[in-house]
Amino acid sequence: MSKVARYLQVEDILLAVNVSSKQRLFEQVGQHLQETRQLPADGVTASLWRREQAASTAIGEGVAVPHARLAELDRIHALYLRPQAAMAFAAPDQQPVSDILVLLVPAPADQQHLDLLADTARLFGNPRFRQALLRCNQATQVKQLFDHW
């Protein structure tokens, strides 16, 4: 089981998301977490946007890992999103992003946060994992892949 799998719930896997920009993506994440976890949508959106303004969270190969620290959190939350169409994300390889893993961690960040980012980079750095992920058409399939990889 990947470390990400511990924090990723089926209800936080959103496929065919209709977004056209990073800002709209972050707003949708905020709205989702407000509806499902009673977290403040504006706070989530603003935290993700501030982090993205510091430097792009795209890591290449069509993957982005937006992440932020939130004082309101008591535990880590992970969300996987796949936009309907790949989107620009200022990736180092200039490729559009089609796999997005959002990580929200309690503030202040600790070693667990850094370990989770490293595990995410390792996971998405594997071309076989990315190919298997693209074949998943349902949230339950995505969750099973993360659980058993």
pLDDT at position 112: 82
Structure tokens at 51: 């982090």
Report pLDDT digits (tens) over 98-130. 999 999 999 876 788 888 989 999 999 999 999
Predicted local distance difference test score (pLDDT) of residue 109: 67
How do the domains of the chain map onto residue ranges? Answer: 4-148
Q: Is the pLDDT of residue 132 over 70?
A: yes
Respond yes or no: is residue 67 known to be catalytic: yes
Write the CA distances from 81 to 13, 56, 103, integer angstroms. 6, 17, 11
Ordered DSSP codes for 99-124: EEEEEEEESSP-HHHHHHHHHHHHHH
Comparison of pLDDT for 9 and 117, the residue scoring more: 9
pTM: 0.95
More confident residue, 79 or 1: 79
Pick the CATH number of 4-148 from 3.30.450.20, 3.40.930.10, 3.40.50.620, 1.20.1740.10: 3.40.930.10
pLDDT band at 87 (very low <50, low <70, confident <90, very high): very high
**Which of 32, 67, 77, 113 is labelled catalytic?**
67
Say if residue 95 is exposed, middle or buried (CB neighbours under 10 Å; 0-12, 13-18, 19+): middle
Predicted confidence band at 13 (pLDDT cuts at 50, 70, 90)? very high
Instruction: Tell me the H-state helices in 38-84.
Output: 41-54
pLDDT in tens, 17-59: 999 899 999 999 999 999 999 999 999 999 999 999 999 999 9
pLDDT at 72: 85
Q: Which residue, among 78, 80, 63, has the nearest Cα to 13 in the 3D structure?
A: 80
